[in-house]
């Protein structure tokens, strides 16, 4: 199987879906003529033209609002936020309009929109550009939330998200864009991954590490060290999507290992891991041999200092320490 970057996998997904469906178009700041701030849309404007790849003004509320309206009339917009932190200025359009229209219309109006871009810390761009709002988006009934960790998952989930009739919030990570991984070749057929299906990235018997996004890679790193240095074998479950959430896969790994460490770049208060911990306590309490542990970002605004911010985020060492505390 060929190897391409996370960035290339997304680009390929857009290219294929634009060609497959005349209603799909990309819109955002610098996505067209300048190939995107992160070069995720590179070459697509030259290939598909102004009507399929659209540069917008610097107005998230404006172009997301327009895209919501377009989606209600049958188009399938894919909106790029240069940083997911900028969702706040389009919150009404996302939560009140995109999230509510199918319910408020009695199912008569769909909103097939994808809002995508990087949602992560670790790049030293300050507190206002480093939010991870997947937990916030997941609180809104009607919104779907996706957080791929690998190039393969990024492509397969993006193609599914574009085809979905509900609004999908697609959370990427700038630190993953250059990461290479195996992705099926388009010549081998249409490749998609369903939303709401977790993926067991590593098998073990002693502890379950449950994560999403880049935290999956941190969990895998910790699992390899735990195996080599302590003989502890970890399941590493990649959630892939936050809403819908694969509860069955979570409960299955908990029943298998009886010990859980949740790895999550969200802040700990009301984060994704808090929701999963509640789920495990409610539905798998009798399977546990130790309290559920969490490794999250330190509960403060994103720190600008590069060495300090690196420690603010989940690290393999912090995951290892939590695992050792419950063995």
Active site residues per annotation: 60, 129
Give the separation between CA 270 and CA 170, rounded to whole angstroms: 20
What DSSP string describes 156-185? Answer: HHHHHHHH-SS-EEEEE-TTTTT-EEE---
Structure tokens that stand for 68 in this block:
């919501």
Q: Judging by beta carbons within 10 Å of its beta carbon (0-12, 13-18, 19+), is residue 145 exposed, middle or buried? A: buried
CA distances from 12 to 15, 128, 191 (A): 5, 30, 11
Where do we find the tokens 């994808």? 114
Chain centroid to CA 217:
13
Exposure b/e, 282-303, CB count within 10 A at least 16 = b:
eebeebbeeebbbbbbeeeebb
Q: Taken in order 141, 143, 149, 150, is the CA torsion positive or negative?
A: positive
Residue 291, strand partner residues: none
Q: What is the DSSP string of 67-116?
A: HHHHHHTT-EEEEEPSSGGGGGGGHIIIIIIITTHHHHTTTS-----EEE
Contacts of 283 (CB under 8 A, 6+ apart): 247, 251
Contact 171, 194 (CB under 8 A): no
Question: Three-state SS for 3?
Answer: strand
């Amino acid at each position: 199987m060929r190897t391409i970057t996370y960035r290339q996998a997304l680009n390929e997904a857009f290219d294929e879906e634009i060609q497959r469906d005349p209603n799909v178009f990309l819109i955002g700041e610098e996505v067209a003529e300048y190939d995107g701030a992160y070069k995720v849309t590179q070459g697509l404007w030259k290939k598909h033209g102004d009507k399929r790849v659209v540069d917008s003004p610097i107005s998230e509320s404006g172009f997301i609002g327009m895209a919501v309206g377009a989606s209600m009339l049958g188009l399938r917009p894919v909106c790029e936020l240069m940083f997911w932190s900028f969702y706040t200025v389009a919150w009404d359009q996302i939560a009140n309009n995109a999230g509510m229209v199918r319910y408020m219309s009695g199912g008569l109006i769909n909103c097939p929109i994808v809002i995508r871009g990087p949602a992560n810390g670790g790049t030293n761009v300050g507190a206002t550009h480093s939010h991870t709002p997947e937990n916030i988006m997941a609180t809104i009934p009607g919104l779907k939330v996706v957080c791929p960790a690998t190039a393969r998952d990024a492509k397969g989930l993006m193609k599914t998200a574009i085809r979905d009739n509900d609004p999908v919030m697609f959370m990427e990570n700038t630190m993953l864009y250059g990461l290479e991984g195996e992705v099926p070749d388009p010549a081998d057929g249409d490749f998609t991954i369903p939303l709401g299906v977790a993926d067991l990235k590593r098998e073990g018997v002693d502890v379950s590490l449950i994560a999403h996004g880049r935290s999956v890679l941190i969990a895998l790193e910790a699992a390899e060290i735990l195996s080599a240095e302590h003989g502890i074998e970890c399941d590493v479950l990649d959630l892939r999507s936050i809403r819908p959430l694969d509860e069955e896969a979570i409960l299955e790994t908990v029943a298998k290992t009886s010990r859980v460490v949740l790895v999550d770049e969200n802040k700990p208060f009301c984060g994704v891991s808090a929701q999963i911990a509640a789920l495990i306590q409610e539905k798998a309490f009798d399977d546990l041999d130790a309290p559920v542990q969490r490794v999250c970002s330190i509960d403060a605004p994103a720190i600008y200092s590069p060495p300090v911010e690196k420690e603010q985020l989940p690290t393999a060492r912090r995951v290892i320490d939590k695992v050792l505390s419950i063995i």
